[in-house]
Amino acid sequence: MATVIELPIETYASEVEPDWCPGCGDFGVLRALEIAAGRLGINPKDLMVVSGIGCSSNLPGFIHAYGVHSLHGRAIAVATGIKLANHDLNVVITGGDGDGYGIGVGHFIHAMRRNLDLTYIVMNNQIYGLTTGQASPTTMKEVRTKSTPAGNFELPINPIALALVSGATYVARGFSGENKHLADLFMGAIAHKGFSLVDVFSPCVTYNKINTYDYFRKRIYKLETEPGYDAGDVELALARSFEWGDRIPLGVFYQNRQPTYEEQEVALSNGPLVRQKLGLNKETFVELVEEFM
């Protein structure tokens, strides 16, 4: 096993300061990601952070690593292309509940069933923050928002359950108010070979006055403290995924090592595509480029 040389958190300091609202849960997510990357000894040149659109999707600009701020709901599609081009990269996707569980839910499901080696961190604030407070796919029923003034009557998506039945092989939930615990979850997710989801309660202090830090602190508990809980039991994980109310579970719901898409794709067996020869002479290469320009 290769020796891991931890890197200081300053390694990932960006020249761009985060511009989130004071108290936003996304600050905790950024910090936890920096801590996790440092503990895993990931050099910034080996880390790619991809996002979609939303407050949380500004994160790639706030960390010193490769980054792509892509299109709304398309972060997983972009990240998939990057990973298949160079599967040596640690590819982390960051986004919000609207971007990932609404606009991008189709990409989300298919990436999980393929078991692509990607880490998806969703800052779930149960509201559309960037567009100033509309109901999102995870907004609870009866909650009044700018777009649901009489109360939300739509059933919210359960991202943990959806991930479990779609084939994700590392499924976890964290809370940005529990930074050390969150960093541990991120470490496990990035180190895991296969599709990893970490759904993070990341309170929006501006537009969501219900799902606050205090709301979660009164309700959360950690699965690892539950006697007899087995993160290798998918049926048990699924049952816990439906817990909501007075008790809400955090931690690793499920983890299972399965062959990844990259490990099974023959075209990648000779190493990352970016390092493989095209097998074209210069003349043919120029002709192809000119044809598609």
pLDDT attached to residue 103:
95
Rounded to an integer, what distance in angstroms lies between the CA atom of residue 226 and that of residue 246? 16
Q: Give the model's confidence band at 155: pLDDT under 50 very low, under 70 low, under 90 confident, else very high.
A: very high
2 falls within a domain: no
User: Is residue 285 in some structural domain?
Assistant: no
Radius of gyration of the chain (CA): 20
Let me know if 189 is exposed, middle or buried by CB neighbors in 10 A (0-12, 13-18, 19+).
buried
- Distance CA(131)–CA(143), nearest Å, equals 17
Mean pLDDT over 159-177 rounds to: 98
- Is the pLDDT at 133 greater than 60? The verdict is yes
**Ranges of H-type helices in 218-281:** 234-241, 261-264
In a domain, 283, yes or no: no
Task: Give the 3-state secondary structure of residue 120.
Answer: strand
Q: How far, CA to CA in Å, does 276 sit from each of 85, 203, 226, 283?
A: 10, 44, 48, 19
Assign residue 165 the CATH number of its domain: 3.40.50.970
Which stretches of 89-194 are assigned E, i.e. beta strand?
90-96, 119-124, 170-175
**How confident is the model over 142-161, as a mean pLDDT?**
96
CB 172 within 8 A of CB 185: yes
Please state the rounded mean pLDDT for residues 132-137: 96
Q: Quickly state the pLDDT bin for 1 (edges 50, 70, 90).
A: low
Residue 71 lies in a domain: yes
Domain span at 136: 21-267
Alpha-carbon torsion 125, 128, 134, 136, what sign? negative
Asked if residue 29 belongs to a domain, the reply is yes
CA distance 27 to 187: 17
For residue 24, pLDDT over 60 is answered with: yes
What confidence category does residue 45 fall into, taking pLDDT thresholds of 50, 70 and 90?
A: very high
Does 223 have pLDDT greater than 80? yes
Q: Is the dihedral of CA 133, 134, 136, 141 positive or negative?
A: positive
| Confidence label for 179 from pLDDT (cuts 50, 70 and 90) | very high
Average confidence (pLDDT) over 47-58: 97
Give CA angle at 191 (81, 42), nearest 5°: 80
In a domain, 78, yes or no: yes
What is the mean pLDDT of the segment spanning 235-247? 97
Q: Enter the pTM of the model.
A: 0.95
Asked if residue 280 is part of any domain, the answer here is no
Counting Cα atoms < 13 Å in the Cβ hemisphere of 221 gives 15
**Mean pLDDT (whole number) for 183-202:** 98
Residues 78-90, mean pLDDT to the nearest whole number: 97
pLDDT in tens, 272-293: 999 998 888 889 989 989 999 8
Q: Output the average pLDDT for the chain.
A: 96
Q: Token pair of 281, please?
A: 């002479």
The tally of domains found in the chain comes to: 1
Q: Does 11 reside within a domain? A: no
Give the pLDDT band (50/70/90) at residue 87.
very high
Asked whether 73 and 107 are in contact (CB, 8 A), the reply is: yes
